Amino acid sequence: MFKRKIQTELEKYFTNKEEQKILIIYGARQVGKSYIIRNTAKSFFKNYAEIDLKDDYETNKLFSNVQTTKDFYTLVSSLFGDLNNSDDTIIFLDEIQFYPHLMTLLKPLAKERKYRYIVSGSLLGITLRHSFIPMGSITEKRMFPMDFEEFLWANNYGESAIEELKDCFLNLKEVNQSVHEYTLRLFQDYLLSGGLPDAVNEYIINQNVSKMRQVQNEIHTYYKDDCSKYDEEHNLKIRRIFDLLPSNMANKVKRIQFKSIEGKDDSNLDKYEDEFDYLFDSGISLPSRAVSNPVFPLVQSKSKNLIKAYFNDVGLLTGILYRNNVFAVLNKDSGINLGSVYETAAAMELIAHGHELYYFDSKKVGEVDFLINNYDSLSIVPIEIKSGNDQNNFRAIPKLVDPNGNYKLSYGYIFGNKNIVKKDGNLITLPIYMIMFL
C-alpha cells in the first residue's frame, strides 16, 4: 500500500471517539480513495462493513428505498448480520453520490451513533454542491492524485533525504549534485506516471510502461464517460471541453478559447459556466483563473472570462501527448517543448497543497504561470515554471517583484531543471522538484 498524506487525517478521525461529524472523502475517480480508506479503517476497527453504492445502484438497488435510519439499520443487519456498537464498528459508504438522498441521513446517523461511518464518492464534489446537507453533520476532505512527495515515498526515497532538500529550500542552499540529478530524474518519472496509484504501481513496481499507459488510457476513458453523465443539454459540451484540454495546453496561449467549443465567435465563460463547474467540481480538471492586478486576495481581481484548465493528473497528459515514448520526457535533447507538462505537474502540486490557482495576464507586462495567496503575510506570490535549459527566459515576473515597479510584490519563485538555488533581488530560483515545499 502506497503511503498517502490523507492517512493522517483518517487516523485522527478513527481514533477520535468523540467525533460528532461524519468524514467525507471526495475526489476524482482512481485517485485512491477507497483503497486508502479500506486499508486504514480495517486496522482501527474490529468490525468493518463496506457498502459499494455504485454496485448496488447498478444491480439490486437495495438502498433506493432507504428513507430513515431504521430502514438503514435493518438493511445493514440483513447484509452483515448484527454488528457491535460504534466503538467496534465502522461502516464505509462508498460512491454515495449514486444515492443523494442518503446524504440527508448522515446527520441522524451520526447523532444516533449506533455505528461509526466514513463516506466517499468520485463525483461527490458535484453532489455536495447541489444537495441539501444539514449543517454541522459532515467534514469534507478532498483527495487528489499522489503529489510528488508521495511519489518519492513510493520510490523508497528516505525521509531524511526529503528533510535535507527542505533545508536547502528554506535556507537557499545548493543541493548535492548527485542528489539533484537523481531527484530530477524521479520528477521526470513522475511526469510520465503521474499520481494515479494504479499507474504508479505499474511504473514503479512492475516497471511496465505499456501497462502504465493502458491504465491511464482506461482512466481517461472513465473521465470522458463521467462527462456524459450530466444532463443531455450539457454533456456533449462538457465532453468537447474535456477533449480540447491537451490542445489548449499545447498552444502558446494556454487559456481556454471559448469559440473553439462550438465554433461560435461570441462565446464566453457565461455560456459554459455549468460545463466548467462540472469539470472542476468533479475533480477531473483543475482551474486557473487570470488576474490583471495581483493584489491580495486574488479572488477579488480575477477575470471572469480568462481561464486555464489543466488535467488533474500529468500522467494522463503525457500519455495522450507521447504515448509509450518515454524519451520525449526523459531525453533533455529531444527538442520537445514540455512547458504544458511541467505546468500541469505544478498545478497538481499547488492545488494538492491547498492553493487556489491563478495566473497573471497583462498585455503590457506579460504573463506569469501561477499566482498564489500567502495568507500568513496577506500577500501574493508569483511563480514561473521553466521546463527547458534556458531558465532566464522570462519578462513578466521581474516586473511584479520590482520594488520600484507598479506591483512591488515581496518575492517570487522561478522553478527549473538546473541545480540553481539563489536569490537575485526578490526572485528566488530553485530546482523544479522543490515546488513540493510551497
Three-state secondary structure readout of 93-139: EECHHHCHHHHHHHHHHHHHCCCEEEEEECCHHHHHHHCCCCCCCEE
In Å, the largest CA–CA distance within the chain is 72
List, edge to edge, every strand of the sheet that includes 302-311. Answer: 302-311, 285-291, 358-362, 366-374, 379-385, 412-416, 427-431, 422-424
The H or E element that residue 348 is part of is helix 339-352
Angstrom distance (rounded) from CA 357 to CA 369:
10
285 neighbors 309 (Cβ within 8 angstroms): yes
- List of long-range contacts for 84-87, beta carbons under 8 Å, 24+ apart: 84/46, 84/47, 85/114, 85/115, 86/113, 86/114, 86/115, 86/116, 87/17, 87/116
* Residue boundaries of the structural domains of the chain: 6-142, 148-437
Write the DSSP symbol of residue 205: I
pLDDT at 84: 78
Q: Is the dihedral of CA 150, 152, 157, 163 positive or negative?
A: negative
In this predicted structure, what is the pLDDT of residue 132? 61
Terminal-to-terminal C-alpha distance of the chain: 26
pLDDT of residue 315: 98
* Domain covering 6-142, topology: Rossmann fold (3.40.50)
User: Three-state DSSP class for 206?
Assistant: coil
Q: Judging by beta carbons within 10 Å of its beta carbon (0-12, 13-18, 19+), is residue 416 exposed, middle or buried? A: buried
Calculate the CA dihedral of residues 40, 45, 49, 51 and round it to 10 degrees.
-40
Q: Is the separation of the CB atoms in 59 and 98 below 8 Å?
A: no
Selection from 350, 357, 312, 345 nearest residue 144 by Cα = 312
Q: 10-residue block means of pLDDT along the chain (438 residues)? A: 94 91 94 96 95 96 97 96 85 94 92 94 73 74 97 98 98 97 98 98 96 98 85 84 88 84 84 90 94 93 89 97 94 84 97 96 92 96 92 88 93 96 96 98
Secondary structure class of 187 (helix, strand, coil): helix
Q: How far apart are CA 164 and CA 170, in angstroms?
A: 10
Strand, coil or helix: 1: coil
Name every residue whose Cβ is closer than 8 Å to that of residue 151 and which is 6 or more positions away in sequence: 186, 189, 190, 193, 195, 200
Q: CA-CA distances (angstroms) from residue 335 to 104, 249, 325, 392?
A: 55, 17, 14, 18
**Tally of CB atoms within 10 A around 236:** 14
pTM, two decimal places: 0.94
Nearest to 331 by CA among 191, 194, 236, 433: 191
- CA dihedral (230, 234, 235, 236) in degrees, to 10, reads 180
How deeply is 69 buried, as exposed, middle or buried, from its count of CB atoms within 10 A (0-12, 13-18, 19+)?
middle
**Rg of the chain's alpha carbons, rounded to an integer?**
23
Query: b/e for 145-182, b at 16 or more Cβ within 10 A?
Result: bbbbbbbbbbeebeeeebeebeebbeeeeebeeeebee
